């Protein structure tokens, strides 16, 4: 066994490790371990490094220089030893070939072994992290960093494969492990692509939290993805490829699936795949990988329908990329465009179940809601061919990125934890590496490098700064080691208000005149004095010709990167036209509808969504918070060259990575520091069983207890240091010794626990048997007593029942007699009260008659007395009586005269003749005249037939609409409403047509003039109003031009003048008629058709239909808002003249 020395410390030689190797060997097939009290403490000399190439742990390098570090990595690379330690950090070099370091037997070799027991390997750090999580109950994370092409994705897969191999077994556990592992092929297919530096480059960041139960078995997980490079969907650099899934689908899908998706296996037929002139890659088998991806989706839990829908979305993206546009000048002078290959759009629409016209409209036009004086107005503007290509690309990017996010969410639904309880977590971070291109470093490279800066900051905080700060805080003697702290670069990018991201968001919010150039100018104003920011405006860079004027340069921890600001604002805004999202939401395709919830009209919000940069900054902040809450384990990946050669080690390339990864500073800190530290109470709690004085409990201070424990174990004072709150152990060998002793002691304690448990179990068994005997005796005695009690109780119940029955019968007889007595008393009382009431009534009646008689006598007496006393004064009352008499005579005579004249009055309702009346009957005459007129109207209505009644109702409806509002109306009052002016009901061809249309009744038919929407010219058409719809028909052939359901009528507009022009407003529902907009007609029977159309629409809709009478109103022509204005010019009786100009329709009447 090749045992690698972990660190170099004074007082220890290579012989120590040889002795450790012998004492770590297992005896009798691994069933027994030797007591290791003298482990690592002797001084014999030997050499175990004879077969080692270079140094396995660079902490042991001598001399410690950058050149020695690179040479050590180089020697091990050529010997296929691609892993090297820096303490507990693994440095991994990409071999660009398969090496014999990964096999099930190798996994079993590293399983359960200490970190430095075997040669450096990812398996070792994965096992250490897994056991720390399982045994010490500490959440872990494995952070894998490095440049693009350094092998980070493969390293993450190796970690996951190892964890899956060493954890427990079981049906549910195996299911979870398989789903966790199979998530990698799916995410690689949809998120990886071939770049110039890496044939399988991750174009997104992935952080996976694997959750374990208390036994260390996986029970689920959560995957978080970061910033998919969706711009790759529509554009790739020369020599690179699009995402793998496009090529896998075309090369590996069976022909039946390709036929369903209407795809060809030739990648050159698709614009999004042929632009980079790289389709086939020697190291990638797309056909085989498609089978792997499809099988992985099934293992994860995707249904066949979901898999089919995912491939349909991928195919839709490919076909949308073939849509081309050509520009033309529209009738109003603006630039517009149209599709040159509509077949591609129609195939896409069939696949995603979308209306082709609606998608074409959304791709060639832009709909915006503009708020003017508090009112929201929708404006539709045409797009040029370039703008349409931008809209097409934005839609494809949105579809693919949202599909990828949906895939991650769907995988999370399958692998999420389904049980409750305390969980342990082990995270694996595989995120894109630092990227710098010779030219065209854009927004994507900016945010990717920002993320790497944050990861480097965490590495500095936890491995360099925090460790040194901890030594100082704990009072440990320490010599400070200098290192570069990149927090200033992070602040330059993310600082609130003055950071680059904040300035970029501010420019995006301004809109209008904001541009990439104005963004660069704002950067120059705010950041020009920062030492890590450079541009041509900076004095020191004005003569630097390598820095273009439209670029700025950041001095990252990994080196300087020049960023071209072109496209920064557009990519940060991540704009998708609202019409496109609404069109996608309107699809019947279930998955596409889910991908665009923002297209739901009911969920419209005016709140501006966060920009892409802000979203990514928040995601990175959440990731950093998550990582800081866990114990980190680092894998630092290095690529040996830029040409992906397995036999080339470029010193300059590796030197650059060694510098910006801070490996030398890490080596210095590890070399001078302590391998292990832990609070006194936790450390004592873990190792207290190794000393009889501290076992089972130590009642003093934990620091004193640990001193007693270390003294008992004969650990040299030079091997540890005591801080204020923690114990520091210098050498990992000492820690391994403690762990081995603890493991052996735990076996002894397990035996004691087993003995005590067996005794306790027997005692519990005896107690249970004794309790059972007591329970049985008690139950028997209770049973016997219950039987005796039940017999006595039964007898008592029988006797009591007979007694209660006798008593109840006696009571019943008594109650029956009392009831009869009460009834008799009631009858007698009723008759007595009746006699008494009648007697009282007779008495009261007699008294009343006496009083009445007395009043009469009194009245006659008073009258006689008054007449006798005032007889002389009776003449004064004669005049009123005479006047009253004369008035009654006049009224009687008037009524008789009126009765004689009524028969001679005309019966016409319009007649105003009425007999004159005397002055005193004037009020009565007015009331009688009104009553007579109402009676005459009622008689007239009773004589009318149903058809006449209908006409009268229509006349009344017309009066309500037009009376006093339109000058033309008085002339139309005498005209009868005929309805069917062209005798359509008798037409044989019409009766045949009604059999197909289902319209049985004709309410109105006439030849009208239809005004053309685009040029305002008129043409003769036959208008027919039926039960449920209005038909516009060719007057000669009776061919239906338009069929408009009356429920789609939103309103009617006419002018107040003498013209016969009217506009029918239509609801914008997507039908052919409604898409073209409102109708404009000219008819001699305007009043009749408007009133009938309004009544039909209100009956069909159950709601009012407004009729607007104004000289100016708005209309919709072909999706555009048009203002119709009537101008009175004196053309009475003539056809109005219509003129169309831009968004104005003038009508001269």
Report the pLDDT averaged over residues 86-99: 90
Both tokens of residue 117? 């027991």
Look at 714-718, 766-770, 929-933 and tell me which has the smallest mean pLDDT.
714-718
Cα separations in angstroms, 803 against 800, 807, 815:
5, 6, 18
More confident residue, 63 or 779: 779
Say what the pLDDT of residue 1058 is: 86
- The model's confidence at residue 922, banded by pLDDT at 50, 70 and 90, is confident
Tell me how far apart the alpha carbons of residues 664 and 674 are, in angstroms, rounded to a whole number: 17
Catalytic (active site) residue 665? no
Active site residue 153: yes
Question: Is position 252 annotated as part of the catalytic site?
Answer: no
Question: 400 falls in which pLDDT band (50, 70, 90)?
Answer: very high
Binding annotation for ATP:
146-153
Q: Which of 84, 114, 153, 972 is catalytic?
A: 153
* pLDDT of 51 above 70: no
pLDDT classification of 5: cutoffs 50, 70, 90: very low
Lowest mean pLDDT among 15-29, 537-551, 943-957: 15-29
Query: Which tens digits make up the pLDDT trace of 406-429?
Result: 999 999 999 888 777 778 999 998
The predicted pLDDT at position 515 comes to: 86
Summarize pLDDT for 978-991 with one digit per residue, the tens: 888 888 888 888 88
pLDDT at 876: 60
890: exposed, middle or buried (Cβ count in 10 Å: 0-12, 13-18, 19+): middle
Q: Which of 474-478, 817-821, 836-840, 857-861 has the lowest mean pLDDT?
A: 474-478
52 — pLDDT class (breaks 50, 70, 90): low
Using 50, 70 and 90 to split pLDDT, how confident is the model at 553? Answer: very high
Tell me if 246 sits within 8 A of 227, measured CB to CB.
Answer: no
* pLDDT score of 222: 92
| Integer Cα distance of 655 and 378 in angstroms | 60
Q: Is the dihedral of CA 513, 515, 521, 526 positive or negative?
A: positive
Reported confidence tier of residue 1096, pLDDT bands at 50, 70, 90: confident
Q: What percent of the chain has pLDDT over 70?
A: 90
Predicted confidence (pLDDT) at residue 20 exceeds the cutoff of 50: no
Give the pLDDT of residue 1133. 58
Across the range 95-101, mean pLDDT stands at 89
The answer on pLDDT for 31 being more than 80 is no
Catalytic entry in 92, 114, 148, 633: 148
pLDDT of residue 748: 85
pLDDT in the model for residue 1074: 56
Q: Kindly report, residue by residue over 192-205, the tens digit of the pLDDT.
A: 999 888 888 888 88
Q: Is the pLDDT of residue 1066 over 60?
A: yes
pLDDT reported for residue 11: 34
Annotated catalytic residue 330: no
Helices 578-585/356-364 angle, 10° precision: 170
Least confident of 135-149, 561-575, 1125-1139: 1125-1139
Mean pLDDT of 154-183: 87
Task: Please report the pLDDT score of residue 667 as a whole number.
Answer: 81
Highest mean pLDDT among 176-180, 290-294, 448-452, 923-927: 290-294
Task: Select the highest-mean-pLDDT range: 514-518, 636-640, 1097-1101.
Answer: 636-640
pLDDT surpasses 50 at 26: no
Residue 201 appears among annotated catalytic residues: yes
What is the C-alpha to C-alpha distance for residues 144 and 73, in angstroms, rounded to an integer?
A: 18
149 is known as an active-site residue: yes
Q: Which entry of 202, 641, 734, 1074 is annotated as an active-site residue?
A: 202
Question: Does residue 148 have an active-site annotation?
Answer: yes
What is the C-alpha separation between 631 and 3, in angstroms, rounded?
26
Tokens of 966: 């339109």
pLDDT > 60? residue 41: no
pLDDT of residue 939: 79
| pLDDT value of residue 376 | 61
pLDDT band at residue 15 using 50, 70 and 90 as cut-offs: very low
The rounded distance, in Å, linking the Cα atoms of 1126 and 1056 is: 9
Burial status of residue 204 (CB atoms within 10 A of its CB: 0-12, 13-18, 19 or more): buried
Catalytic residue among 92, 195, 201, 1083: 201
- Across 787-799, average pLDDT: 91
Q: Which sign, positive or negative, has the C-alpha torsion 175, 177, 178, 180?
A: positive
Of 257, 515, 297, nearest to 414 (Cα)? Answer: 297
User: How confident is residue 947, by pLDDT bands cut at 50, 70 and 90?
Assistant: confident
- For the purposes of burial, counting CB atoms within 10 Å of the CB of 667, is it exposed (0-12), middle (13-18) or buried (19 or more)? buried
Return the half-sphere exposure (C-beta side, CA atoms, 13 A cut-off) of residue 326. 5
pLDDT digits (tens, 9 = 90+) for 512-524: 678 888 989 999 8
Q: pLDDT-based confidence at 591, cuts 50/70/90?
A: very high
DSSP notation for 353-373: T--HHHHHHHHHEEEEEEEET
The proportion of the chain whose per-residue pLDDT surpasses 90, expressed as a percent, equals: 24
What pLDDT band is residue 1075 in, cutting at 50, 70 and 90? low
> Hey, what are 899's tokens?
């009765």
5-14, 214-223, 374-383, 392-401: least confidently modelled range: 5-14
**pLDDT reading at 27 higher than 60:** no
Residue 375: the pLDDT is: 59
Say which of 433, 586, 662, 705 is annotated catalytic.
433
Compute the average pLDDT of residues 722-733.
Answer: 76
Residue 25 predicted with pLDDT over 70: no
Mean pLDDT of 537-542: 85
pLDDT tens digit string along 331-346? 777 888 999 888 888 9
Distance of CA 427 to the CA centre of its chain: 25
Catalytic, out of 149, 221, 662, 1051: 149
Mean pLDDT along residues 889-905: 84
Of 45-59, 665-679, 772-786, 820-834, the least confident: 45-59
Task: Band the pLDDT of 757: cuts 50, 70, 90.
Answer: very high
Q: Which residue has the tokens 């207890």?
A: 705
pLDDT over 70 at 49, yes or no: no
pLDDT value at 867 more than 90: no
What is the per-residue pLDDT for 192? 92
Average pLDDT over residues 68-94: 91
**CB contact at 8 A, 30 and 743:** no
CB neighbours of 1089 closer than 8 A, spacing ≥ 6?
A: 1004, 1006, 1008, 1023, 1025, 1062, 1083
Mean pLDDT for the chain overall:
83
Determine the average pLDDT of the residues in 352-381.
79
Q: What is the Rg, in whole angstroms, of the alpha carbon atoms belonging to the chain? A: 50
Q: What is the mean pLDDT of residues 488-507?
A: 89
So what's the pLDDT on residue 466?
A: 66
pTM for this prediction: 0.59
More confident residue, 580 or 48: 580
Q: Is the pLDDT of residue 124 over 70?
A: yes
Instruction: Name the binding residues.
Output: 146-153
pLDDT-based confidence at residue 1132 (cuts at 50, 70, 90): low
- To 10 degrees, the CA torsion angle through 485, 488, 490, 496? 150
* Strands 89-93, 83-86: pairing kind: antiparallel
pLDDT tens per residue, range 605-633: 666 778 888 888 888 888 888 888 888 89
Displacement of CA 1125 from its chain's centroid (Å): 46
pLDDT of residue 37: 31
Query: Using CA atoms in the order 851, 855, 856, 857, what is the torsion angle rounded to 10 degrees?
Result: 100
Within 10 angstroms of residue 1005's Cβ, the number of other Cβ atoms is 24
CA distances from 538 to 523, 532, 541, 547, 940 (A): 11, 12, 5, 11, 99
Q: Is the pLDDT of residue 244 over 70?
A: yes
Q: At what angle do helices 946-962 and 1086-1101 cross, to 10 degrees?
A: 100
Signed CA dihedral, 1010, 1012, 1013, 1015: sign only = negative
Mean of pLDDT values over 880-890 = 83
The predicted pLDDT at position 1086 comes to 87
Taking residue 565's Cβ as centre, other Cβ atoms within 10 Å add up to: 23
Assign 657 a pLDDT band (cuts: 50, 70, 90): confident
Query: Which of 363-367, 621-625, 781-785, 1130-1134 has the lowest average pLDDT?
Result: 1130-1134
Instruction: Indicate which residue of 198, 572, 633, 1091 is catalytic.
Output: 198
Helix (H) or strand (E) holding 63: none
> Rounded to whole angstroms, how far apart are CA atoms 635 and 632?
10
């Amino acid at each position: 066994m090749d045992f690698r020395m972990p660190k170099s410390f004074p007082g220890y030689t290579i012989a120590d490790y040889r002795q450790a190797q012998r004492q770590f060997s297992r005896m009798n097939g691994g069933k027994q371990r030797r007591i290791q009290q003298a482990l690592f403490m002797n001084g014999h000399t030997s050499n175990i490094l004879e077969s080692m190439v270079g140094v396995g742990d660079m902490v042991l390098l001598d001399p410690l220089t950058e050149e020695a570090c690179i040479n050590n990595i180089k020697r091990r690379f050529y010997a296929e030893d691609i892993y090297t330690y820096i303490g507990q950090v693994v440095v991994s070099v990409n071999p660009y070939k398969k090496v014999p370091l990964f096999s099930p037997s190798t996994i079993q070799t590293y399983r359960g072994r200490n970190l430095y027991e075997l040669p450096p390997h990812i398996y070792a750090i994965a096992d250490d992290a897994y056991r720390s999580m399982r045994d010490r109950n500490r959440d872990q994370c494995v952070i894998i960093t490095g440049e693009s092409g350094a092998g980070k994705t493969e390293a993450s897969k190796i970690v996951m494969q190892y964890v899956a191999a060493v954890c427990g077994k079981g049906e549910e556990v195996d299911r979870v492990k398989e789903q966790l592992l199979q998530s990698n092929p799916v995410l690689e297919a949809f998120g990886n692509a071939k770049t110039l530096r890496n044939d399988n480059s991750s174009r997104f960041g992935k952080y996976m939290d694997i959750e374990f139960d208390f036994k260390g078995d996986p029970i689920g997980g959560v995957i978080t993805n970061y910033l998919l490079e969706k711009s790759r969907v529509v554009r790739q650099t020369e020599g690179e490829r699009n995402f793998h899934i496009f090529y896998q689908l075309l090369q590996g899908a069976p022909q039946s699936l390709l036929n369903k998706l209407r795809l060809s296996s030739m990648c050159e037929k698709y614009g999004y795949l042929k632009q980079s002139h790289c389709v086939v890659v020697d190291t990638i088998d797309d056909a085989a990988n498609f089978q792997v991806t499809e099988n992985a989706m099934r293992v994860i839990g995707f249904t066949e329908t979901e898999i089919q829908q995912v491939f349909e979305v991928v195919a839709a993206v490919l076909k949308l990329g073939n849509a081309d546009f050509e520009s033309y000048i529209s009738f109003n002078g603006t630039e517009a465009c149209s599709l040159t290959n509509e077949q591609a759009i129609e195939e896409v629409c069939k696949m995603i179940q979308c209306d082709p016209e609606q998608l074409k409209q959304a791709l060639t036009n832009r709909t915006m809601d503009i708020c003017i004086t508090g009112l929201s107005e929708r404006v539709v503007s045409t797009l040029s061919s370039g703008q349409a290509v931008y809209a097409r690309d934005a839609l494809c990017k949105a579809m693919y990125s949202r599909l990828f996010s949906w895939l991650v969410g769907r995988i999370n639904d399958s692998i999420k934890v389904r049980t409750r309880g305390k969980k342990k977590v082990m995270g694996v971070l595989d995120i894109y590496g630092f990227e710098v291109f010779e030219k065209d470093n854009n927004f994507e490279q900016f945010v990717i490098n920002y993320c790497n800066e944050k990861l480097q900051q965490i590495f500095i905080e936890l491995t360099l700064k925090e460790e040194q700060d901890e030594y100082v805080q704990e009072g440990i003697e320490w010599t400070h080691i200098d290192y570069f702290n990149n927090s200033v670069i992070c602040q330059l990018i993310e600082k609130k208000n003055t950071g680059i991201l904040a300035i970029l968001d501010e420019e995006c919010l301004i809109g209008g005149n904001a541009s990439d150039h104005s963004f660069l100018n704002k950067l120059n104003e705010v950041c020009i004095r920062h030492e890590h920011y450079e541009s041509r405006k900076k004095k020191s860079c004005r003569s630097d010709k390598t820095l273009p004027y439209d670029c700025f340069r950041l001095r990252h921890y990994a080196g300087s990167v020049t960023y071209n600001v072109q496209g920064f604002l557009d990519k940060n805004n991540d704009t998708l036209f609202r019409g496109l999202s609404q069109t996608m939401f309107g699809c019947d395709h279930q998955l596409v509808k889910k991908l665009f919830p923002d297209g739901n009209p009911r969920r419209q919000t005016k709140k501006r969504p966060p920009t892409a940069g802000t979203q990514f900054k928040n995601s990175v902040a959440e990731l950093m918070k998550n990582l800081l809450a866990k114990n980190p384990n680092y894998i630092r990946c290095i690529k040996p060259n830029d040409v992906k050669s397995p036999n080339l080690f470029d010193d300059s390339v590796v030197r650059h990575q060694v510098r910006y990864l801070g490996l030398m500073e890490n080596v210095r800190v590890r070399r001078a520091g302590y391998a292990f530290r832990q609070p006194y109470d936790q450390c004592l709690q873990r190792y207290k069983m190794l000393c009889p004085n501290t076992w089972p409990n130590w009642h003093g201070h934990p620091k004193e207890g640990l001193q007693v424990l270390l003294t008992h174990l004969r650990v040299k004072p030079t091997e540890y240091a005591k801080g204020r709150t923690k114990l520091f152990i210098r050498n990992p060998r000492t820690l391994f010794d403690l762990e081995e002793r603890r493991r052996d002691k735990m076996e002894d304690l397990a035996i004691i626990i087993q003995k005590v448990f067996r005794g306790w179990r027997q005692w519990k068994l005896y107690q249970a048997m004794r309790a059972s005997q007591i329970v049985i005796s008690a139950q028997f005695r209770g049973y016997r007593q219950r039987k005796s009690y039940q017999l006595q109780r039964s007898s008592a119940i029988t006797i009591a029942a007979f007694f209660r029955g006798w008593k109840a019968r006696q009571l019943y007889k008594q109650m029956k007699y009392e009831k009869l007595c009460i009834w008799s008393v009631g009858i007698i009382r009723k008759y007595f009260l009746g006699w008494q009431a009648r007697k009282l009534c007779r008495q009261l009646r007699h008294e009343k008659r006496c009083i009445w008689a007395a009043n009469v006598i009194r009245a006659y007496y008073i009258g006689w007395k008054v007449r006798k006393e005032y007889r002389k004064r009776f003449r004064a009352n004669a005049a009123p009586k005479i006047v009253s008499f004369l008035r009654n005579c006049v009224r009687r005579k008037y009524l008789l005269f009126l009765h004689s004249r009524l028969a001679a009055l005309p019966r016409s309702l319009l007649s105003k003749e009425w007999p004159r009346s005397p002055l005193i009957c004037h009020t009565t005459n007015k009331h009688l005249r009104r009553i007579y007129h109402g009676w005459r109207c009622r008689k007239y209505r009773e004589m009318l037939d149903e058809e006449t009644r209908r006409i009268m109702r229509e006349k009344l409806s017309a009066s309500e609409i037009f009376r006093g509002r339109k000058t033309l109306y008085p002339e139309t009052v005498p005209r009868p409403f005929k309805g069917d002016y062209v005798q359509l009901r008798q037409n044989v061809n019409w009766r045949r047509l009604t059999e197909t249309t289902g319209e049985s009744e004709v309410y109105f038919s006439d030849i009208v003039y239809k005004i053309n929407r685009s040029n305002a010219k008129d043409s003769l058409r036959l208008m027919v109003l039926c039960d449920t719809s209005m038909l516009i028909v060719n007057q000669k052939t009776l061919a239906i031009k338009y069929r408009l359901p009356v429920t789609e009528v939103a309103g009617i507009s006419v002018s107040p003048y003498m013209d016969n022009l009217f506009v029918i407003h239509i609801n914008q529902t997507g039908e052919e008629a409604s898409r073209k907009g409102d109708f404009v007609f000219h008819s001699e029977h305007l009043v009749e058709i408007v009133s009938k159309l309004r009544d039909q629409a209100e009956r069909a809709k159950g709601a009012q239909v407004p009729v607007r009478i104004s000289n100016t109103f708005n209309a919709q022509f072909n999706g555009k808002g048009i203002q119709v204005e009537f101008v009175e010019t004196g053309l009475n009786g003539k056809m109005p003249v219509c003129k169309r100009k831009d968004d104005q329709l003038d009508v001269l009447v």
